[in-house]
Amino acid sequence: MAEEAGEHTPADAAADTPGVTEQDPLAALDGIEDVPLEQQVEVFQAIHDHLAERLDEAES
């Protein structure tokens, strides 16, 4: 079960590992099908937030 202590889910990768989201935000999608739907939302939100920040930076 992905919620057991010590397991690292794609949601954790997106939310807790800046290197993943900064270098390749889509890498957090690896294994997403094994993550409960509620946690998938966190991954998608983290990716969206990262890409929105990058767009803001590019426009300024």
Look at the pTM and tell me if it is higher than 0.75.
no
Lowest mean pLDDT across 7-16, 17-26, 27-36, 48-57: 7-16
Ordered by start, the domain boundaries in the chain are 10-59
Residue 38 reports pLDDT greater than 50: yes
Q: How many CB atoms lie within 10 A of CB 28?
A: 25
Copy the structure tokens of residue 59.
């426009």
d(CA 52, CA 34): 26
pLDDT of residue 2: 44
pLDDT of residue 8: 53
pLDDT of residue 1: 43
CA separation, residue 55 to residues 7, 8, 9, 41 (Å): 32, 28, 27, 21
- The mean pLDDT value of the chain amounts to 74
